[in-house]
Amino acid sequence: MIFNSKDYSEYQKIIKIREISKIIILLFVISIALNLFIVFNYWDLNISMDETTKEELYEIDKNYSLQCGNLSFQETAICLNEFAKNNFKYKVTEDSKDLTIKDLINIGGDCKDFSEFYVKYMNYYGYTNNKVVSVPIREDSLNSYWHEFVIAGDVSGYCTLDVEYLTCYKYVDDNGEIEE
């Protein structure tokens, strides 16, 4: 095929556009791959937080030193339960109020408030597999009465954390041996 000078210059423009398009597509694909790499390697997996940021995230009151850090899952649950039993007063409170540790010590709280404390601090110490369980205990024509407690777990077992009581279970394998 023979081109005249006008057709030949149009042909060269098309070739340049194709080459530029290939480069743009290649850069776009590299950009997507890089973004996926960043998301899968750093998104909420390896983000390290300093203590201040972590305390703010979980609304932890630094004035009360709970020495429950750097413990195993069950030891953390025991530590939090001991702190609650030794420092908190039980008093039925309005469910719409969010009580702080200071409030629980000075005013008191009920099972909902204790459950919120357990979940907040288990999360803070790195044990985030927690569930608040609400169980109906009595109902009359005007009111329903509920009890709340927390079931917290990790790979070693699970604990039920109640107002005063704590029960922990360790998982066992098929041979009846405790899994660690």
Query: What are the strands, taking DSSP E only, across the chain?
Result: 129-139, 144-154, 157-161, 166-170
User: Reading across the β-sheet that carries 129-139, which strands appear in turn?
Assistant: 129-139, 144-154, 157-161, 166-170
pLDDT at 57: 63
Q: Which of 130, 142, 138, 88 is nearest to 113 (CA)?
A: 88
Q: Taking the complete model, does pTM exceed 0.75, yes or no?
A: no
> CA-to-CA distance for 171 and 154, rounded, in angstroms?
10
Confirm if 129 and 154 have CB atoms less than 8 A apart. Answer: yes
Confirm if 104 and 117 have CB atoms less than 8 A apart. Answer: yes
Confirm if 89 and 104 have CB atoms less than 8 A apart. Answer: yes
pLDDT by 10s per residue, the chain, length 180: 676 777 777 888 888 888 888 888 888 888 888 877 777 666 554 445 455 456 666 667 777 768 888 999 999 999 999 999 999 999 999 888 888 888 998 999 999 999 999 999 999 899 999 999 999 888 887 777 889 999 999 999 999 999 878 999 998 877 777 766
> CA-to-CA distance for 99 and 88, rounded, in angstroms?
11
The set of residues, in sequence order, having a beta carbon less than 8 Å from that of 180 and lying 6+ positions away, is 156
Give the bridge partners for 151, in sequence order.
Answer: 131, 160
pLDDT at 55: 62
pLDDT at 176: 72
pLDDT at 167: 94
| DSSP assignment string, 76-113 | HHHHHHHHHHHHPPB----TT----HHHHHHT-B-HHH
